[in-house]
Chain A
Amino acid sequence: MGKLMETKLGKVEITEEVIATIAGAAAIECYGLVGMASRKISDGVSGLLKRENLSKGVSVTFQEDIIVIDLNIIVGYGIKISEVASNVMDRVRYTVETMTGLKVSEVNVNVQGVRFLE
């Protein structure tokens, strides 16, 4: 089920997948983030198929009024991880909120890996 917004003219529903895609797209533009780590099997398949999957490594949960976004990311070695994580949180929250008009309660960043870049 998606997130419903009542307007004067009717309802707008935004699904988890949409929010996950927006969050993923915003995240991969963040500096210091060099990849998303997936824990879903389906992500692995689409990865093999070379389909672009922006929601990879992102999970979105709705609980009543609350939207929680979890991101599994990989950062580059030699970068201050705490700062990258907080930039990702800011960016994702800002982008999702401005694009959907919904309020994001939490953005959790799980740093799943560090990649050597040289």
Chain B
Amino acid sequence: MSFVTFVVRHRIRCLVATVGIFAVIFSRTAKTFKHSSANKMEWLESFWSTYNTLVLSVGTNVLLALSIYLTLSCGLLTVANAAFMGLGAYTAALLTLNTQMPLWIAALAGALVAAAVAAAMGRPTLRLSGVYLAMATLAFGEVVRILILNTEQFTGGALGLNAIPQLTQWYDVAAAVALALYLLLGLARSRVGRTMAAIAQDETATELMGLNVRTYKLFAFVAGAALAGVAGALNAHFTFFISPGEYGFERGVEILAMGVLGGTASPWGAVIGAVLLTLLPELLRGLGHYRPLINGAILILIILYSPKGLWDLLRLGARAPKAAA
């Protein structure tokens, strides 16, 4: 029995085991775990102070993965999401820094700016497909980064923006993730989601079903940009500091990797991909210098054994008993 079939057959147990391993690792690293209730609170506090950035990063990464899920599920390979994240982050941070605006309104403004830019650039670029679209969005991402770098009077240029108020709480991120998941799961079940899946499979055939393919693609692109904008805004308000370098090519590829790793068949795929790619480097921390090596090896194995993403693997496992019956 291969490792994969084992995981598929015992997926619930694997899930529980993973959670268990997490708990052990966290408790070991926290080192202060004792059995008295007072110390439990202490443990929680110490855990939170060590890992709050990580937990919040998981949340914002889930949002980013969902943002690229939207375009990937439409068959569009775009890598501009890091740039839209940057637009959201800078818009929101500038608003809270200069006007003491509440976080949620600033995040909404960030989403709107990202969406507006996406709508403007989407019209011409979404005529492209495949690698050409990837190239165009890649170039756009660089334009945004360099634009932020060179408008020093507003954005602080290469020095970035400092002392951004730390307004993002865990419940802000949790609420944003829950809302985004709820909407995208509803979308996936709706006619719009079905049409997007059809476009991913055969664009020409979908168009000849009387559906305006370009409108659907633009919708996916703009909605994805808005989501990335929200993620950027939330992220900027707990990292204290942002600079243009954070929203460059590497970030774009990282977001793409989360989306592809999890799989594009369902929003849950994006969630799995984001959680895994954010936590994996932390879980492998004990490996020291070998960490990036093992990290990469695990990703390669997953892509090799489940090219349609992890979600597909779990889904196939769920379907297998039915096929046997």
Note whether A and B form a binding pair. no
